[in-house]
Chain A
Amino acid sequence: MKLVTFSGPPSSGKTSVILKTIESLRHRDVSPAVVKFDCLYTDDDVLYRKAGVPVKKGLSGSLCPDHYFVSNIEAVVDWGLENSYDLLVSESAGLCNRCSPYIKDIKAICVIDNLSGINTPKKIGPMLKTADIVVITKGDIVSQAEREVFASRVQAVNPKAIILNVNGLTGQGCFELSTLLTEESQDVTTLKGKKLRFSMPSALCSYCLGETRIGENYQMGNVRKIDLEKGENSESK
């Protein structure tokens, strides 16, 4: 079984792209399954089931979904192996701009959309910067010029990635993506001993854990204070 991890900001088109890509893979007799990781709520499992794709979902609640991913992906891989799927796709909501669910030697795909604004590539951390393939969606509703500017910003933060423009609605580009998913990647038999591509912050702050009250008394863990003296410099952080 092969494993690929998809991640990306909310509503960027992950499910649409995965569904269309799976359709292409099925023509090549690949049997796929999906696991969706999200925070509080997702309907994606319904969409996958409707398309006849076996699916599991995991909700992290108030935890960072990527931390939750690491603690659970091994069990999900075992589920995939038991059922002899050819390809297990994980879809994670990229809600934490600091973390990413990518594992060394496992194909990692980041899905972002043209509508999110040209400064988005700058703001997304390892989820974009350490992906093998960056899929850019919603090119159908912006101009050619905007597509080019957006793609060049992505290239600047991740020059090694393959960047593909894909239309999540029509599936244009999904066949091409499907050929890249399985090539040059090894079958996984276990995730034991594999490593994340990028460390996740070791200590979480109280807000990661669901705290909503504002004030010193409620702040625990790894809390960093803004330096208002630093002016311009602190802006880029």
Chain B
Amino acid sequence: MSPSRKTINELLTAYPFLSSFLEDNNINYKGNEDKTLREIINLLDKNEQEELAINIQQLEENLESFIEQMSEFLSDDDEEVTSITIFPGTDKSGAPEKYESLELKKGEIVCIVGPTGSGKSRLLGDIEWVAQNDTPTKRRVLVNNSVPDSKWRFSISDKLVAQLSQNMNFVMDLTVEEFVTLHAESRMIEDIEDTVKTIISNANNLAGERFSKDTPITSLSGGQSRALMIADTATLSKSPVILIDEIENAGIDRKRALDLLLAEDKIVLLATHDPTLALLGNRRIVIKNGGIDKIIETSEEEREILAELEVLDKRQMQLRNALRHGEKLQ
């Protein structure tokens, strides 16, 4: 039976996620759960329907599309993304890129370096759009070594790339708990309460200063906001690729943050010029004049530098905490 012919009760039983659809479409069905959508709309007179700009036929079509999209999103039979392969295109002057192909595997951190305007964001854009020779760079991107499904381009719930913004301003007027719950709901997570608890506790492990679930998100510090977003993305995002444009040093344990993301088997792409972070990656992609110029494997010597930097970083963090707690530096 077509969903449009089912009563609201039948719909909500079969597809619990429809309650948000009905609410977002301003369908007031309270007391009329035994009716179909069309019957409820027909309770309004023609003038009221016109004023609310309701077109029942369109609404029914939307209901069916929404059910289809959500059912696909919730189904588990999606193929897991294990690799992304980028084939060369051309740089800004039209010269072909020199590498053969570049394969990114899950659980891997890859850094992207290059001056402003060199084409870092374009490379990330090519991955997000799963370019098929149809972007200015003429690159081609494969997912799991095959020509990707067009859902990666157009689905908003199944995106290939989740991006942690550089600016961490929250605009909603909610507490930490309300906010993460809202996000979890929109992601159709089953065990919302536990998931929210885990996210908040993970975030607190990353942040220098602790915050409670009742803190308004707008009053979180820069470091706390970042910590919350990283923990939130690690848990709630289904996207296999996580893109980070420069994690600042703002009072957050960056190594732990990356570990949290890697524990979820993501491919982490990191645009950064911070040596500690750049060396955490196995490889770094050097972008020049719009093209991939080199791919450098992190060497043993470089890793030794990393050990050095980590000691310095720890010391910095320690001093920062001492300052925060009003202690004398020593």
Contact = CB atoms under 8 A, between A and B. Distances in A.
Asked whether A and B interact, the reply is yes
A143 B170 contact: yes
Contacts of A152: 20, 156-157, 186
A162 interface: yes
B229 interface: yes
B172 interface: yes
A159 B62 contact: yes
B89 to A, nearest CB: 13
Nearest to B165: A140
Contact of B182 (A149, A156, A201): A149
A160 to B, nearest CB: 5
A172 B125 contact: yes
Interface residues of B, number: 53
B61 A175 contact: no
A148 B186 contact: yes
A145 B220 CA distance: 15
B298 interface: no
B232 A118 contact: no
B265 to A, nearest CB: 18
Contacts of A121: 24
Interface stretch (A36-44, A62-70, A124-132): A124-132
B38 interface: no
Contacts of B129: 176
B156 A98 contact: no
Interface in B282-313: none
Contacts of B180: 145
B156 A163 contact: yes
Contacts of B318: none
A125 B28 CA distance: 16
Given A141-B165, A143-B225, A159 B69 contact: yes
A151 B20 CA distance: 13
B26 A122 contact: yes
Contact of A98 (B24, B51, B165): B51
Given A156-B20, A159-B66, A146 B167 contact: no
Given A163-B156, A236-B26, A130 B21 contact: no
B53 A98 contact: yes
Interface in B140-178: 153-154, 156-157, 162-172
Nearest to B245: A140
A129 B58 CA distance: 9
A198 B53 contact: yes
Interface in B95-139: 121, 125, 129, 134-136
Contacts of B153: 176
Interface string A145-167: 11011011111111110110000
B69 A155 contact: yes
A155 B66 contact: yes
A170 interface: yes
A118 B172 contact: yes
A114 B52 CA distance: 24
Contacts of B225: 143
Interface string B35-53: 0000000000001101111
A50 interface: no
B121 A170 contact: yes
Contact of B171 (A142, A151, A157, A159): A142
B169 A157 contact: no
A145 B199 CA distance: 13
A201 B50 contact: yes
Given A155-B156, A160-B62, A201-B51, A145 B20 contact: no
A237 B183 contact: no
8 contacts: A129-B58, A141-B165, A141-B171, A144-B164, A148-B237, A162-B154, A175-B125, A198-B55
The 5 closest A-B pairs by CB, nearest first: A156-B24, A125-B53, A159-B65, A152-B186, A159-B66
Given A125-B53, A141-B167, A145-B236, 10 more contacts: A27-B136, A122-B25, A143-B232, A148-B156, A148-B236, A149-B186, A159-B65, A163-B156, A175-B135, A233-B28
